[in-house]
Structure 1
């Protein structure tokens, strides 16, 4: 599928919120997983994230439909924390998740490590991350809630 990946603009906040909720709700239903992170962000909060220091990327079709998104934030230890990676539910399985993950990684050339969380029952996500070099870690001090899996990989430059 032809898409253009670009940085999100504050005006994209409504579409990002809609896609984010659709992607995570679809995943929760698909895997009967009530332990996915609750999405409580408001439109104003998403607009602030887009306008702030985080990298928020979106993928759009030639018709300008927003079909995928992802966030990255680099910390003081040069670790890139990837969050809210999502694909429109009707376009799952077309490689958009793979492309968004790669785009978020590429947007952080100084990162030494990449980290992310996904639901323990999110089998497609876990397989995607493992194929892209991520390893599942059992880090009790980083538990963000029941049913979450923590994955990380070193940056290869």
Structure 2
């Protein structure tokens, strides 16, 4: 493992935004939709999430190579914006970030919830392997259905 996971610092916001946008380009291409909110999220919102303590990052040296958010809402933790730099995929960073956000929010939450697009096969595979189960599918646009998944906190 050539990377470590840590809590993001507000000074990391620009690099988190860069990794997030780079990671979502492939999703935008997959769905032929360049309007994903992750590609347009203002840096101020990223700073707010970091300041709230919701963002974890994976760092290889000083470079941020991945990030994830865990937002508590009542007894649930909403996992989102799980991203890995395209050149660092396939090294277990996404799975490690997912485990880290879960560990950080236990035992305060009852379950973890997240969603991804129905064509995002690699994402769905990662979540199923991590113990998430599909709870719903919703058509949100002509070219996009969202797959909702959940996992008990254990």
Alignment of 1:1-157 (within 5 A): 1-29=1-29, 32-34=30-32, 37-39=36-38, 40-52=40-52, 54-61=53-60, 63-76=61-74, 78-109=75-106, 110-138=108-136, 146-156=144-154
Answer whether contact 1:23 1:87 (CA < 8 A) is retained. yes
SS at 1:138's partner residue? strand
The answer for unaligned runs of 5 or more in structure 2 is none
Tell me the number of residue pairs that the alignment of Structure 1 and Structure 2 aligns: 149
What RMSD, in angstroms, separates the aligned Cα atoms of the two structures? 1.8
Q: TM-score, normalised by structure 2?
A: 0.89
Tell me how far 1:26 sits from its aligned partner. Answer: 2.2
Three-state SS of the structure 2 residue aligned to 1:111 is: coil
> Any runs of at least 4 consecutive aligned residues in structure 1 with deviations exceeding 6 A, and if so which?
none
Which segments of 5 or more consecutive residues in structure 1 lack a partner in the other structure? Answer: none
SS of aligned partner of 1:49:
helix
Displacement of 1:88: 0.5
Residue 48 of structure 1 and its aligned partner are, at CA, apart by 1.4
TM-score between the two structures when normalised by the length of structure 1: 0.87
